[in-house]
Structure 1
Amino acid sequence: MDISGTRPRTARAALFTALVVTLSSASHVLLSREALPVTALALVGGLVFAVAYALAGRERGFGAIAGLLVPLELAADTVFTTGQQLCYGAAGGPVAGPLRSLGFDVLCGGHGVGAPLARVAGVGHPASGAALPLPPGPGVPWLLLAAHVSVGLLAAAWLRRGEAALAALLRAAAAFAFSPLLVALAVARGSRSPVRGAVRLPGARPFVAARPLFTHSVGRRGPPLPV
């Protein structure tokens, strides 16, 4: 099993989706001080998972991960803004009028997601009728964009380390699992391969002249004498 298998591919795509949706939704709720429609959250999660699964065919580097994560995070922020305006209106409350008569409040999925986080940010749930915060100054959108990009780059670096660790773990597991089979295959090939080299036929040994032996020498070596 390699990193492009079905299970590792699904797990990687799910982790990527969870990270993108969590970062974008949490930051959007904190900045807008509104809950998110369930349908918008589900739509973004499904689209991000489909894109991540399609591109998870092999191990990806930091550039590829960051180049996908940051644009998806910004696109998810745009979708969440559109969903909040369609479901809650400009005043932060439920949409009234033609959209509600068409059942748009049913498509919004109830009270929304992230109401406790919106209350922590300082404003209650949109259904309470609290007004949206005042429009920011000219430099604030660029600051928010820099924050989004910085968080996305940090998340991409974390995902890259996890990608490398998972690939190394799968390679080590595959090597450990198939090592006995490789040894058995090597033994089988070694037993089947013919013995190469010249075969010496039995015959008369070459005559070697006998050397004189020290027959009159006596060995007197022993342990050393005490001092």
Structure 2
Amino acid sequence: MRAHLPLRLVRAAVFTAVCVTLAATAHSLGGGTGPAPWAAGLGAGAVFALALALPGRERPAATVNTALVGAQAGLHELFGGGDGTAYVALHLHGQGLGDALGMLLAHLTATLLTGWWLARGEAALWATLRRLLRRLTPLRPVSPPVPRAAAPVVRARAVPPAPGLRHSVARRGPPLPA
């Protein structure tokens, strides 16, 4: 099953919103300042273009996580480069190795959790679309009903019981205890 343009636009917009919001929030919390508005807009446009190219069909969790990690790395560089610190990843933000590794682990953890969340949403969306398509598509073509043949009428005569047994009552049961 393939996604058409309206669904692709919505999926790309959700991916972009989650990705850019995560990067901007993490950058604000980690560095103390938010990204410049032009950097956030440029990053959102680039992520949207990337995300619009991917969602033609259902993507597995590995693809979603890979795209999210790549987009987060690019956004991190873009947001860090706005304050005069170009090549942020290579220069380790001017911090020690421990701080840089801590930031890298925090970025990867947040990215992988968000990627898992997006992949689960992707799977739920496609499962819902498949169920909806199954309900809307008839399983077999509808044909006019075939009339059934009428059941034969059988007439039977009631046989009366024998005259000697007409007034007898059967009272047999288990024997009484002694």
TM-score range, shorter chain: 0.7 to 0.9
Structure 1 length normalisation: TM-score? 0.59
Of residues 109, 120, 127 in structure 2, which corresponds to 1:161?
Answer: 120
Matches within 5 A, 1:24-103: 24-85=23-84
1:225 pairs with one of 163, 171, 174:
171
Q: In structure 2, what is the Cα distance between the partners aligned to 1:23 and 1:8?
A: 23
Among the aligned pairs, what percent are the same residue? 32
Structure 2: which 5+ runs fail to align? 86-92, 147-158, 174-178
Task: Check the 8 A contact 1:13/1:52 in 2, yes or no.
Answer: yes
Task: State the 1:172 CA deviation.
Answer: 1.1
SS in 2 for 1:150: helix
| Long gaps (5+) in structure 1 | 87-133, 192-214
Mapped contact 1:3–1:9 kept (Cα < 8 A): no
TM-score by length of 2: 0.74
- The CA distance in 2 between the partners of 1:77 and 1:64, in whole Å, is 20
**Paired residue type of 1:39:** W
Cα distance in 2 between the residues matched to 1:78 and 1:59: 29
Change (3 A) 1:135 1:176: same
SS at match of 2:83: helix
Give yes or no for contact 1:3–1:170 (8 Å, CA) kept in 2.
no
Counterparts of 1:85 and 1:159 in 2: how far apart (Å)?
Answer: 33
Offset from partner CA, 1:14-34 (integer Å, 9 cap, x none): 111111101111111122212
Higher relative contact order structure (alpha carbons within 8 Å, sequence separation ≥ 6): 1
Kept after mapping to 2: 8 A contact 1:36/1:83: yes
What is the match of residue 203 of structure 1?
Answer: none
Q: Is the counterpart of residue 137 in structure 1 residue 83 in structure 2?
A: no
Write the distance in 1 (CA, Å) between the matches of 2:169 and 2:98: 97
